Chains A and B, each alone.
Chain A
């Protein structure tokens, strides 16, 4: 699609331009995905431009790689540290929920339905008389599983397809661009509602599969753009001139440079996928009981929000903190990797 390339090349700065490869597609998944997509485009630029006006020479020229430089910054960034710790904690309780919750999320006592906090049950009971604390802890497992699996799938599929299309260009690139356009035209929540309403399985896999199906085009666009940018770097041209094979150029020169935007978008996407799972579960088409999910619990509790707000607030809080942690992590990584902000 060479003709739609032009606007992007002309566009002065980040942000979005329709018609260009870097267009911001409002995905309906919510702004976070758009945030990820557009902000990552700034990462496609080559590093090394000196700082402010009239400040050439700049800081002492210790040669550091982009990654070690970023790591150096990240360790000192409180946002990164806090969100990193939260995520570490989430992964830990997702793997071993029994570490902090001794009960069984499925053992409920109807007699205790909607009761508030009491000793041993700090978050109270839900509409079925299940312990909200235990269910909230166990809910992390579902959310993290969905988020991680969907992100891995989307990142792999999207970056391979997008990367190859960007690298080889031509007809495949044109076809892929049209295909991604098709997927972008379907609002995510709507697509989920349509596709998942016919699924009866109560495992997480249909949900993960759906997210990969509708999520890959976003990453594929990012990867394509990043590869095209990397391809134009002088050292890649030089390697080509020296007769390096396509495989070698792709693996040794392009991948390391194109991977940063993909990682940032994937991190932020992980947060959005968790939110999306909860939204779909809330609408009744995501996970289904007996799966333990924050979305299901919020959905089940929302009619009683007036009398027993604790049944909604705890899982909702856990959900918000989880999504926030991933988005903040992605944001911090992006800032650290963005050479423009140095």
Chain B
């Protein structure tokens, strides 16, 4: 197993109180596997990713519990300097907004080459050559000419390719992509996603794909983990989950996708609002919005029930959901 997150808890201390962003997340990724983490904004998926990467702003964030086992080592117990060396070399991250995520005053060549210079002590010239190579690898035309240009001189799709190149630079074992295509035009989204999927196969990397877009997930993911209020509520192989969700929240998500074959019908929407992280409802956090909620959901927190060998659901009524 490449990465295993156990019982991870993260909270944010703000002026208005403590926001519990991640409340006991368990997940794992194998080598060469693509795990999609699905959830609304505020479900804790980005915070989980940042906690794994070790780039949370502390304060205001605070990891209050759990383990992040990466290639057998608990990253949360490493010294900061050891931890730093894992970043970039062992695991890398691709962010949503490439324009703001790239340094505006350094050329893309400098920013790509920096990976080699810092982690491998490469000379300026060699690093530059590597940067060109990387840019070619992510299919940026005229890489040699463009290596000295600045981020604002590239188009959105090209910038995201540069982000991908930067993540690939040291051929890490795991890549975390946080909504990598959300900020792009629809036509470019598919290209960038395909590129990412190709490269992932080529390098046999683990990939955590964080998204709220169910369409993206279906194409590239092997497995899905659905998050709600800072917890994983369902995890399953992608096709099983699409065929028959085992959690009412997943079901709601799937039903709220517009579909051509149901033209004319009213779109389904999950009732209610996402939970306030300062005051997460007791029991199952989803119960105020759940059509199946019973008394037990209001008082007891459901554990992860084993649906099948590869599937888990955090719902007392997973059977009813699965077959209903």
Contacts and interface: CB of A to CB of B under 8 A. Distances in A.
Asked if A and B touch directly (CB within 8 angstroms), the answer is yes
Interface of A: 10, 12, 51-60, 342
A318 B42 CA distance: 52
Given A60-B276, A60-B278, A55 B104 contact: no
Contacts of B50: 53-54
Given A53-B57, A59-B14, 13 more contacts: A10-B152, A52-B14, A54-B21, A54-B46, A54-B61, A55-B12, A56-B41, A57-B42, A57-B275, A59-B16, A59-B278, A60-B276, A60-B279
A53 B55 CA distance: 11
8 contacts: A51-B14, A52-B14, A52-B60, A53-B47, A57-B275, A58-B16, A60-B16, A342-B15
Contacts of B46: 53-54
A52 B60 CA distance: 8
A57 B277 contact: yes
Contacts of B17: 59
Nearest to B46: A54
Interface string B1-25: 0000000000010111101010000
> Quick one: which of A51, A54, A58, A342 has the most chain B CB within 10 A?
A54
A55 B278 contact: no
Nearest to A10: B152
Contacts of A59: 14, 16-17, 278
A256 to B, nearest CB: 26
Interface of B: 12, 14-17, 19, 21, 41-42, 44, 46-47, 50, 57, 60-61, 104, 152, 274-279
A243 B17 CA distance: 44
A58 B19 contact: yes
B47 to A, nearest CB: 4
What 4 pairs between A and B have smallest CB-CB spacing? A54-B47, A57-B42, A59-B16, A56-B42
Contacts of A342: 15
Contacts of A56: 41-42
A277 B15 CA distance: 41
A55 B21 contact: yes
B277 A55 contact: yes
Contacts of B104: 12
A57 B279 CA distance: 11
The DSSP consensus for interface residues of chain B is loop
Contacts of A51: 14
A55 B276 contact: no
A260 B290 CA distance: 44
Nearest to B277: A57
Contacts of A57: 19, 41-42, 274-277
Contacts of B279: 60
Nearest to A12: B104
A52 B15 CA distance: 12
Nearest to B16: A59
Nearest to A60: B276
B52 to A, nearest CB: 13
A13 to B, nearest CB: 11
B34 to A, nearest CB: 22
Contacts of B278: 59-60
A52 B277 contact: no
A59 B12 CA distance: 12
Contacts of B274: 57
A12 B104 CA distance: 9
B57 A55 contact: no
Contacts of A54: 12, 21, 44, 46-47, 50, 61
Contacts of B14: 51-52, 55, 58-59
A116 B213 CA distance: 79
A56 B277 CA distance: 9
Nearest to B59: A52
Contacts of A52: 12, 14, 57, 60-61
Contacts of B61: 52, 54
B105 to A, nearest CB: 10
B149 to A, nearest CB: 16
A342 B60 CA distance: 13
Contacts of B44: 54
A77 to B, nearest CB: 12
A304 to B, nearest CB: 51
A246 B104 CA distance: 38
A10 B104 CA distance: 10
Nearest to B40: A56
Contacts of A12: 104
Contacts of B41: 56-57
B53 to A, nearest CB: 12
Nearest to B279: A60
Contacts of A53: 46-47, 50, 57
B152 to A, nearest CB: 8
Nearest to A54: B47
A10 B153 CA distance: 13
A60 B276 CA distance: 7
Nearest to A51: B14
A57 B21 CA distance: 10
A59 B14 CA distance: 9
A45 to B, nearest CB: 15
A52 B46 CA distance: 12
Contacts of B16: 58-60
A59 B17 CA distance: 8
A318 to B, nearest CB: 36
A88 B1 CA distance: 68
Nearest to A59: B16
A12 B101 CA distance: 12
A7 to B, nearest CB: 13
A160 B16 CA distance: 39
A233 B214 CA distance: 32
Contacts of A55: 12, 14, 19, 21, 42, 277
Nearest to A11: B104
